[in-house]
Amino acid sequence: MNGKFISIEGIEGVGKSTQLVFIERYLKQQGKKVIITREPGGTRMGEEIRELLIMQREDDIAVDTELLLIFAARVEHIVQVIKPAIHRGDWVVSDRFFDATFAYQGGGRGISTDRIQQISDWTLNGFKPDMTFLLDLPVNHSQRRVIDRDNNIDRFEREKTDFFRNTRSCYLQRSRQEPDRIRVIDASNIINDIQKQLISHLSHLILN
């Protein structure tokens, strides 16, 4: 039996890392073998590309270069990690996947959705997560969390408020387009309430 592929999305500071740990623990309690990974990253090449993308630099990266690097890392991620794990029957949980590209490079950077979709169609050939959790939080709340948690703010975290508002708006638009796959979780709730919602959706996915 094939495994499942879950992605977890959201702007900076919504609590993805905390909920990734919870999802991994819950799935293991249900007898699943779980692979935790991330984008950009997940492979040696992907992690090298991640460093190029998030590091502060004097000469900024062109938006098209950023987009293509992200998809290059994604192809390696799918080929080397995600698909082999699913075929073994493992469950893969990724911190971000292709929805992040539409949100950050589309909504945030202003790249045409059609352009991103063309590259996605070519490189992914219709491959997508079985379920995506979108942790949603107002931008002013998320930015306070980022500032409070870490002084080492990366290249994306330094973006201006409007960038994250556009990114969040794009995420929510995608959730309305694919409500069966993308489950929106109010990240302003207390952790117990968030995790109850996650369990409800995960239980449904396990049964199906």
Query: 193: domain range?
Result: 5-207
Query: What CATH number is attached to the domain comprising 108?
Result: 3.40.50.300
Whole-number Å distance between alpha carbons of 96 and 126: 17
pLDDT, residue 161, reads 87
DSSP for 51-119, written as a single string: HHHHS--SSPPPHHHHHHHHHHHHHHHIIIIIHHHHHHT-EEEEE--HHHHIIIIIIIT---HHHHHHH
Question: Total domain count for the chain?
Answer: 1
Give the Cα separation of 11 and 144 in Å (integer).
12
Query: What was the pLDDT predicted at 141?
Result: 83
**Per-residue pLDDT tens over the stretch 122-177:** 999 999 999 999 999 999 888 777 766 666 666 676 778 899 999 999 999 999 99
Specify the residue for token string 């995420």: 171
pTM equals: 0.93
Q: Is the pLDDT of residue 1 over 90?
A: no
Question: Are the CB atoms for 19 and 195 separated by under 8 Å?
Answer: yes
pLDDT, tens digit (0-9, with 9 covering 90-100), for 19-76 = 999 999 999 999 999 999 999 999 999 999 999 998 877 678 899 999 999 999 999 9
